[in-house]
Amino acid sequence: RFDIKSPHKQLQVRNLKLTDAGIYTCKYGSHEVRTSLHIFNLTLSSHGHFLQNEAPELILLQNSSSPLPDLSITLFDSNNNRVTAELQNKNRQKYIVNLKKLEAMDSGTWVCQVHSDSPLINEKISFAVKVLGFQNPDLERKYAAVDSTVILSWHLNSQQIKWKKGFTGQLNWKQQEGANAHELLDFNATAQGELHETKKSSNFLFEIPEGKPESTIEVKLPKVHFNHSGQYQCQLEYQGRYAQSKIELVVMKVSANPAGPLSRGANITLTCQVSGLLPPSAYLRWERVNGTEMDKKNSKQQEVKLDVNVSAAGLWSCHLIEDSDRKISLHYLVEEAPVWINYVIIGASIGGSLLAFALGCLCIISGINWQRRRQRAKRMAQARQHLLENRICQCQQ
């Protein structure tokens, strides 16, 4: 590891070790020059490969022939921002520094600045940090209408940081917290850094889209059902460590009772419903398109169902509003029954009334006739009895 480079007689030491620290003497005749070599050794946990939300540990060792100086350590991330770190151990020979939890955007070249006043040291040591993770928010919420098409996407940064292989992952779905999870697909990184996906679920209607961006996990729901809502969680695994990102799918539907056209003087109840819990700032609103303020109705915050009684035909819209932003809208057209249907209904009502009146009259007449026949039969029976009694009297005489 030691070479003398001509013509200036330079001593070259390759692959420095801590034990190489010390005083080096160059003699030339009666001349003698001494140089002190101070060596630093910086190591990063997990060999500099991390998953998001992991907190790395940095170890700095120093060695010198003279008494070891008291060092101050300052860290700068890949964006040259100063990083707040916790110095866990400090005994002048070994410094252990705990860093903050990393995010995917923290990947890049970091700098450890080492400073000492006596002896004067101002050394900058660069080191690489690779953070494999999702570029999605920690918790993403997506809204969809029943029977619409939805694509759920998770974007990895593996291509950006040139992370070739060694990690696997899976995508799970469950309808609510604490429910049984269903594995939809699993994936792994190939030697070329591409993602290979395998569909796992056979009882769930979804597709794996083609031609998606690199380092992207996607599932496509061609026709969303109301019970397709819930938590879709994508999980990474690397050397026994895990990172995950979750998308909450909320599905909205509207319905009417009764579902038929609106007759004159009748009412219809419109129902707007979402499949899951809403954030505190979200609520539902029914309103009639081109209507007045009287045609609007808001739910309470976080209510998942809103009914409105409608007596006027027209186009009605249900909006899901979060932080004054309309996240999704669904429309329902309340049609007015044709005039002939109204006439049929009126005629049927009048006809039904007349029929009921006629039946009532018929019942009354039948009752009167039955009563008369009963009285006539009674009188005839009395007359027969009277004649029979008279005949018996005549025979006796």
In sequence order, the β-bridge partners of residue 282 are: 322
pLDDT at 342: 46
Question: Do 219 and 284 fall within a single domain?
Answer: no
Question: Do 183 and 239 fall within a single domain?
Answer: yes
The pLDDT confidence band at residue 65, using thresholds 50, 70 and 90, is confident
Alpha helices in 28-89 (DSSP H): none
Please tell me the distance from the alpha carbon of residue 171 to that of residue 22, in angstroms, as a whole number.
Answer: 55
Average pLDDT value for the chain:
86
Preceding omega of 56 cis (within 30 degrees of 0): no
Task: Say if 85 falls within a structural domain.
Answer: yes
Last residue of a domain, one of 277, 312, 334: 334
Question: Do 144 and 216 fall within a single domain?
Answer: yes
Residues 184-195: tens digit of each pLDDT: 999 998 888 888
Question: Do 148 and 242 fall within a single domain?
Answer: yes
Domains of the chain: total: 3
pLDDT at 125: 95
Average pLDDT score over residue span 247-252 = 95
In sequence order, the β-bridge partners of residue 309 are: 269
Give the count of alpha carbons within 13 A of 303, CB side only: 14
CATH number of the domain encompassing residue 299: 2.60.40.10
DSSP secondary structure code for residue 16 in this structure: -
Average pLDDT score over residue span 102-123 = 92
Please tell me the distance from the alpha carbon of residue 94 to that of residue 222, in angstroms, as a whole number.
Answer: 58
Residues 178-236: tens digit of each pLDDT: 778 899 999 998 888 888 899 987 777 889 888 888 889 999 999 999 999 999 999 99
DSSP secondary structure code for residue 122 in this structure: E
Question: Do 212 and 307 fall within a single domain?
Answer: no
Least confident residue range of 173-182, 239-248, 297-306:
173-182
Question: Do 101 and 24 fall within a single domain?
Answer: yes
Average pLDDT score over residue span 301-305 = 89
Residues 16-39: tens digit of each pLDDT: 999 999 999 988 888 999 988 999
Question: Do 196 and 124 fall within a single domain?
Answer: no
The pLDDT confidence band at residue 349, using thresholds 50, 70 and 90, is low
Task: Say if 358 falls within a structural domain.
Answer: no
Please tell me the distance from the alpha carbon of residue 218 to that of residue 153, in angstroms, as a whole number.
Answer: 4
**Single pTM value for the model:** 0.74
Question: Do 38 and 119 fall within a single domain?
Answer: yes
pLDDT at 244: 93
- Residue 33 structural domain: 18-131
Least confident residue range of 4-13, 208-217, 233-242, 321-330:
4-13
pLDDT at 167: 93
In sequence order, the β-bridge partners of residue 199 are: 185
